[in-house]
């Protein structure tokens, strides 16, 4: 009789883990679908911000530069320097918060911001330079 209870307990545990796995997959797919509402191309300007506390700030390109943020299925891609294909990749959460980064020999580049309606507002920065981003969804 004890072995019957053991088998029944094992089966209940297996069923619970399967249900938990299905729930997590469903939640992830739902989150991706929600994040998909931000899909599109956002175009606008990348403008150098003033930051005199950085020693080599003079090395930053002044701009402003025309740039595009591409969002698809909760993923974000942004080319911050087309001259050498400097690219950051990251995620867009269900609230429209964007977070992306790239490892670079000079210390890396990070991007953060938020999509609200058809506009993205944020910043992108490296060891020396910080730029503000003002982008609008392209129809």
Q: For residue 104, what pLDDT is reported?
A: 75
Residue 42: inside a domain: yes
Q: For residue 71, what pLDDT is reported?
A: 97
CATH number at residue 118: 2.40.128.120
Residue 84: inside a domain: yes
Query: The pTM is what?
Result: 0.71
Residue 128: inside a domain: yes
Count of the separate structural domains present in the chain: 1
Residue 119: inside a domain: yes
| Conformational region of residue 105, where left means phi above 0, alpha means psi within -120 to 50, and beta covers everything else | alpha
Residue 2: inside a domain: no
Residue 9: inside a domain: no
- What is the tens place of the pLDDT at every residue in 43-101? 999 999 876 565 566 778 888 999 999 999 999 999 988 887 789 999 999 999 999 99
Q: Which residue has the higher pLDDT, 3 or 88?
A: 88
Is residue 107 within 8 Å of 127, Cβ to Cβ? yes
Residue 130: inside a domain: yes
For residues 31 and 74, give the distance between their C-alpha atoms in angstroms, rounded to a whole number: 8
Of the candidates 37, 41, 39, 45, which has an alpha carbon nearest to the alpha carbon of residue 139? 41
Q: For residue 56, what pLDDT is reported?
A: 63
Q: For residue 8, what pLDDT is reported?
A: 52
């Amino acid at each position: 009789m004890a072995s019957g209870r053991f088998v029944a307990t094992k089966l209940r545990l297996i069923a619970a883990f399967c249900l938990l796995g299905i729930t997590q997959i469903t939640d992830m797919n739902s989150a991706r679908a929600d994040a998909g509402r931000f899909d599109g191309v956002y175009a606008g300007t990348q403008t150098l911000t003033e930051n005199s506390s950085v020693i080599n700030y003079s090395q930053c390109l002044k701009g402003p530069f025309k740039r595009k943020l591409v969002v698809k299925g909760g993923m974000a891609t942004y080319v911050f320097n087309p001259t050498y294909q400097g690219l950051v990749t990251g995620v867009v959460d269900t609230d429209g918060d964007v977070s992306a980064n790239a490892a670079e020999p000079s210390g890396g580049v990070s991007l953060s911001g938020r999509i609200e309606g058809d506009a993205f507002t944020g910043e992108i920065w490296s060891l020396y330079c910080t730029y503000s981003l003002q982008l609008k969804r392209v129809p």
